[in-house]
Amino acid sequence: MSFLKKRSTRFYLGGFLLMMLALWWSAIPAFADSGGATATVNAGALSEAGTFGQSVSVTLNGLDQTASYSLPVQVTDATGSGAGWNLQISGSPLADSKGHTLTQQVSGASAQCASGSTCTAPSGGSAISYPFAISNAAQKLFSAGANSGMGIINVQATIGVFVPGNAFAGSYSTTLTLAAASGP
């Protein structure tokens, strides 16, 4: 019996020591390091890129006609300023080799965020009255107000070519110029 008492005493003593060690280790405070993190976001550029080379075909019938084409333009506002922007268009009238001309006009434009871009949809820009004739002087084609139009925006403009009933048959061409400028 004495052998069993010694064995259980050792067992209880061992258990007590293990419990005390566990309590002692849990009472040691945990140490942690702390520090800060920073992020620098650098401004990019305001730019535009268009897909040019559109064409229309009209058969003269004695009546005034308008043939339309779409002019897709992608505006990238990576400035991070929230200043807004405007897209401008200019160009001379369509002309043939004999000096005859046709007028082009912008009949409207719409915009949406480009696929894959987190952007701020354009809103609150300058009021633009459509339609307007394209001339040599730059005119606002589309506008994004302050704190909008940030990211990559697809602008879709509709251009109409006015062909009067008394137009001369032939091949007419012009060069259009687009530019993105800061501010609505």
Strand ranges for 34-124 from DSSP E = 46-50, 65-77, 85-91, 94-95, 101-113
Nearest Cα residue to 151 out of 179, 120, 124, 184? 120
pLDDT digits (tens, 9 = 90+) for 93-103: 999 999 999 99
Mean pLDDT of the chain: 88
pLDDT digits (tens, 9 = 90+) for 40-51: 898 899 999 987
User: Is the model more confident about 56 or about 4?
Assistant: 56
Partners of 109 in the beta sheet? Answer: 157
> Residue 5: pLDDT above 70?
no
Q: Which two tokens stand for residue 64?
A: 């005034």
Give the whole-number percent of the chain exceeding pLDDT 70.
Answer: 83
pLDDT at 165: 97
What confidence tier does 72 reach under pLDDT thresholds 50, 70, 90? very high
CA atoms of 154 and 9, how far apart (whole Å): 84
Amino acid, single-letter form, for residue 112: Q
What confidence tier does 58 reach under pLDDT thresholds 50, 70, 90? very high
Query: Measured in whole angstroms, how far is the alpha carbon of residue 83 from the centre of its chain?
Result: 14
What confidence tier does 153 reach under pLDDT thresholds 50, 70, 90? very high
pLDDT at 103: 96
DSSP 8-state symbol, 166: T
pLDDT digits (tens, 9 = 90+) for 107-139: 999 999 999 989 998 998 888 999 999 999 999
Residue ranges and CATH numbers for the domains of the chain are 46-182 (2.60.40)
Q: Which two tokens stand for residue 35?
A: 């520090």
- The residue with tokens 């434009």 is 109
Region of poorest pLDDT, from 28-32, 93-97, 100-104, 171-175: 28-32
CA atoms of 103 and 172, how far apart (whole Å): 10
| Residue 71 near residue 64, CB atoms below 8 Å | no
pLDDT at 155: 96
